[in-house]
Chains A and B, each alone.
Chain A
Amino acid sequence: MYHLKQALSGIRRAGFMSVACIIIMTFSLLILGIFLMATANLREILRYAHEKVEIVAFLHDDVTKEAADSLILEVEKIPYVESIRYVSPSSALDRLRAEFGTRSYILDALDVNPLPASIEVTLKPQYRLKARIVGVAERIQQFPQVEDISYGRGWISRLERLVRAVAIADLAVGLVVGIAALVTVSYTVRLTLYARREVIRILKLVGATDGFIMSPFLIEGAIHGLISIAASLLILYLGYRVIYVKIPQAVFVPSQLIAFYIVFAVGVAMLGSWISLRSFLREKVQ
């Protein structure tokens, strides 16, 4: 209680500096928040894309229904496979017709159905990763019934690369924001420290431990961090609501990441206080 009271009076003392510090920290953290949210959304797109990923194996024209059925039995034995659907040439044509909609009359000009029969293979969700998909696709390609194989190889790896790049950018932005927050908090707390210099000396004189002397200042730093993170989360959330109206699939920063974000802000703010404190504690009493 004593420490908290001292911390609050420290913030009051620093006044304008405290407010400036909180504003700078809020905006620095907001930038990090925007990056985290962008990452979360890209991951969401990637997850959605993976969900949609299936392997389509086109069969030779001379493959009979029986031969197709035996192929399905074989493919079902591959452990990562969730489901297999057989698409006959006629149902493929129906699909195409549906996709053409009003212009499906174009297809009427065809004398024979040019579409091959195919099987569509979906993998279990946890295996819908590029490496796994390629592996399974290559195994299916080995079967004699299969003429060609198709899956979204190109854009999946592009998307995975993008997510990785953004995750690296998150780290870089986190580092810059962390340093900015560290510097602002340590300067603000230093101001309080100058004002409380005499009190610190007296505390040292009467045998207060470093921990006892530091506590109010660390709490002061933590309060700066908490206010800043609350403000930046609020702004970020309002921004998210605006985007959400336009893009309902947009997601907010996931809760584990929010937890990390809060711990990061408070941790950096306390570290900033501690940096300033260290030099003060080494001063002499007299």
Chain B
Amino acid sequence: MLVEFENVSKIYEHGIIALDSINLVIDKGEFVFIHGPSGAGKTTLLKLIYMDEFPTSGEVRVGEYSSGKMSRKDIAMLRRKVGVVFQDFRLISDLTALENVAIALRAAGKKPEEIRKRANIVLHSVGLSTKRHQLPPKLSGGEQQRTAIARAIALRPALLLADEPTGNLDPDTALGIFDLLIDINRSGTTVVVATHDLRHAERLRKRMIRLEEGKLVTDGGMIGVSP
């Protein structure tokens, strides 16, 4: 799924400029880091991709969808093709890991038999087969994030967005999560990760977009590769 930002600015209420004239293209199958200090506009950039926010000016295009003409139905359909993962996992605490994954499939109108099968397969793929009947509070941080990732990829999205996915995890666990994201990317899914922590990004040598105060300052430099 192709993502394009054309001269996109986002100004929140009270005149806070979150993004300033961003031009950006993310190709199908890419793995991209969005990097920068907190408040640089990383989260806003992701929100514009899954259309939780809309640009104040400019246009965001995600696959066949354009920020200029999105109905509520279009937004729902877009989100079935774009998985999103957050720092705080966003799991439903009174549903098991399996049910948390199943909810994405159910919301997309899949049949019960397919939901059961697919949810089990996806949980297996993130290494949580044995914990599938556990409630989120009984899972470790890393396991919760794996469950959230399983939910995000349950519908085989073309694009996976991750907003500080390892922000709440210890370094070893974070390593595992990044490996999982790499695996997902290898299977053809475009992955965009917003992070302020460069330690892991450096190891992976992927495209890096740096934001500062809402402006795109560098694009394409591979971390750890000398210019």
Contact = CB atoms under 8 A, between A and B. Distances in A.
B53 A206 contact: no
Nearest to A283: B52
B21 to A, nearest CB: 23
A210 interface: yes
A178 to B, nearest CB: 28
A207 B79 contact: yes
Nearest to A206: B104
A207 B84 contact: no
B92 A210 contact: no
Contacts of A212: 107, 109
Interface string A196-214: 0011011111111110100
B107 A206 contact: yes
A93 B73 CA distance: 84
A207 B107 contact: yes
Given A202-B92, A284-B52, A286-B52, A207 B103 contact: no
Nearest to A285: B52
A2 interface: yes
Interface of A is mostly: helix
A209 B103 contact: no
B146 interface: no
A231 B188 CA distance: 58
A206 B92 contact: no
Contacts of B70: none
Interface residues of B, number: 27
Given A198-B92, A203-B107, A209 B73 contact: yes
Nearest to B151: A206
A285 B86 CA distance: 11
Interface of B is mostly: helix
Interface centre among B47, B107, B155 (most CB of A within 10 A): B107
B180 interface: no
B104 A207 contact: yes
Contacts of B199: none
Interface string B136-155: 00000000000000011001
A203 B109 CA distance: 12
A286 B43 CA distance: 10
A2 B106 contact: yes
Given A199-B92, A212-B107, A206 B80 contact: yes
Interface string A170-207: 00000000000000000000000000001101111111
Interface in B88-104: 90-92, 103-104
B156 to A, nearest CB: 12
Interface in B115-142: none
Given A199-B92, A284-B52, A207 B108 contact: yes
B77 interface: yes
A284 B104 contact: no
Interface string A231-262: 00000000000000000000000000000000
Nearest to A208: B107
Contacts of A285: 47, 50, 52, 84
28 contacts: A198-B90, A198-B92, A199-B92, A201-B90, A202-B90, A202-B91, A202-B92, A203-B103, A203-B107, A206-B103, A206-B107, A206-B108, A206-B151, A206-B155, A207-B76, A207-B78, A207-B81, A207-B104, A207-B107, A208-B107, A209-B72, A210-B72, A212-B107, A212-B109, A284-B47, A284-B52, A285-B52, A285-B84
Interface of A: 2, 198-199, 201-210, 212, 281, 284-286
Which 5 A-B residue pairings sit nearest by Cβ, starting from the closest?
Answer: A208-B107, A207-B79, A207-B80, A206-B104, A285-B52
Interface of B: 43, 47, 50, 52-53, 72-73, 76-81, 84, 86, 90-92, 103-104, 106-109, 151-152, 155
